[in-house]
Every structure is written in C-alpha cells, then in structure tokens.
Structure 1
Amino acid sequence: MTPSDLLFQALHAPSDPPLRPLPPSVVDLLRSLDTPPRLAAHLRAVHDVAVRLVDWLEHRHPRIAFDRTAVLFGAATHDIGKTVHTAELSGPGSSHEEAGRELLLARGFGPNLARFAGTHASWTAPGTTLEDLLVSTADKVWKNKRLQELEDLLIARLVHATGGQHWEEYLALDDLLTRIGDAADGRLAFQASYPVHG
C-alpha cells in the first residue's frame, strides 16, 4: 500500500469507535502536505472528541457563545507542525507548536484558526480562551488522559459564564469525559494501526 493510500485510509476508513470525518479544508491540507498516516489518524481522533465536547456544551449551555468551527478546526490541525518536525511524531518536543501556527498562516488560514497549533499545550497562558481549553481537553481525553488543572480551568470558565454551581459543572463534565475516555482504547488502536512515516 502506498503512502497516499495509507493517508486516505487514515482519513476515511471506518473505525471502532466510529470517528467523524475531518473538515474538507483540513483533508485537503493534510493531502497537500503528504501528512504521515499516523498523524492523520491522530488528528481525526482528537477532532472526533472535540465534536463530542462542543455538542455537549451546546446542549448543556446553549447561551454560551463560542466559536464551534474554530474549536473543530483547531482540534483537527493542532499537531500539524509535526509534518515539519517529524521527530516529534514518535518522541517528545514542542517545536511543532509554533511551526504549526506558522504553517497554517502561510497556507492562508487566519490567526484565529492557526492559533490552536501553538496554544494546545499552553492552557495556562494569558489570554487563553474557552475555545483553547476545549481543544486542549480534546487533545488529552481522546486517550483518556485526565489533567485536573486543565479541567478545573474549563469548569471555572463554565461557572463564570453561567453563574452555575462549581460542583454541578464538575459532575457534568466528569461524566462526559469518563464516557469519552471509555472508548480510548479503540481510538489508540486506530491510531497505532497506521505507520508514523508514510
């Protein structure tokens, strides 16, 4: 199977749990970059979790204004800089963050969309938005990694926006993230079934 065939599979193949397709603009971008298949599979998994998060938020708090499209784009492209810093596909590193933001800007995406490639690992930075917190949460919980600091920031943002009770928001978010985390093994297996390099 050729690298382009593997990339196509990572972007479109059925999975268990089922993963939604990436936005068409992201699919086109990933194809144009000859994205490694495992990275495409990872982006698809994180994007799918982000859809679940924003669907939950819209249902639970329909009056909270946030940019759904930006969150989903951010989740779908957060690690795009790993197409530049390929060593970070299989090892640690943060060089991909700024590289990803610059890549997206160079490809004509606006700063409001490109920003997530640079912010997905820095949720305590000044100016962090609800959208940033949602992308960062999706990037952790897809593999059932729970970070109390990150979740506390998201809960605090929801409490501030709604005037609700902290404990109610905590319980509701914890229930959602537990359900998402329960399917992590399937998402991890889907990602691992694709090679790091094409």
Structure 2
Amino acid sequence: MKPLFKFSVLAIFCVAILAACSPRLYTDNPYEAGTLGAGTLDSIRSFLKTNSTVKLKDTILIKYDFNNDDCWSDLNGQNPEFINNTRWAYQKGIQEKADKRPHVAIYQYREVGNNFSPVRSKGLEIETDPGILKQLLFKTKTRCGTSAIILPNGKFLLLKSDSHFAALLLDAKQIEQKLIENLVR
C-alpha cells in the first residue's frame, strides 16, 4: 500500500473512533422514556435520601452533568464575576421553579471528575455522584448533560443534552405526553 493511502485509512479510523467515544449532542429527539424496575427505583430513592440539601419527594427531577463536557466552554474566557453571576442566576431560576412544585424533589448531580465548566462546577446545589446514578440511570454520556424526570410509579423521562435543565419547564400533562411518545417498547 502507498503511504498516503495508509495514512488516509488510519485517519478515517481515528476519526470514527473519536466520534464513537465522544458525547453525543441530542437535538432531533432528545427524549427517552421507560419504566424503572422496583429494585432500581428503590436504589435511586435510597441514594437520593442521603442528599442533605434536598428532601426526597414523590416525583424526582435530576440534572446530571458529565466530566469533560465542553457545553459551557464559551463562558470559560469570561471574568470570574460574570461566571459567578451566571451560576447564581441559573440556581435562582431552579429554586424559583422548585418553590412552585411542592411535590417535586429537584436534584443536581455531576459525574466524578475535575473537568467541568466553571458554571457547572462544585458548589451551589451541585453534588458529585459516586457512580450510582450513572450506573442506574445516566448510562449514556451526552453533551450538555441529561435530565431525568422520575414519577412515583417508576416511569421515567430522560431529556438528553439538556444544558439549561429544560425538564423543569414541562408540566404534568407535557410529561405524560412525552412518556407516551417516547416509551421504550
């Protein structure tokens, strides 16, 4: 084989490997629905009970961020005051929505790691998952994180690539409709 052909084949192979391993950005249909088994639901609920900042309630919403995600990288060059104000405004919006939903527990978790945007770094209400939630619910690494809505009966709706925690904007009727539309059969 000619060296240029070998190089081209190797380059295509490397690009394919990188594409397969990179977090996917879901834009067309970011929803996935299903039903958690009783054991899985119990494990998630038991783990969430250990969170001292949020009281477990009937319905659960979780925003989950992955290590090495570059979703918020456009803010990396901003000054610390701007980033801090952005973080607090983001958190204030979540708290305002939580106050309007007394039967919903809203959690924010991130994968173990050290490479996060300053906007989604530790602090505020963001906890680090030791791997339990990732193993049980957030198995697919996505760009801009994934949000989960877990109903008391174990039905769940994942919203992949949910950078702004848009799952908070869905009301009960919309959640039910998304569950029906996206139910994994």
Q: Where on the TM-score scale, by shorter chain, does this alignment land: which range? A: under 0.3
Flag the structure with higher helix content.
1
TM-score scaled by length of structure 2: 0.27
Flag the structure with higher strand content.
2
Q: RCO (CA 8 Å, sep 6+): is it higher in 1 or 2?
A: 2
Give 1 or 2 for the bigger CA radius of gyration.
Answer: 2
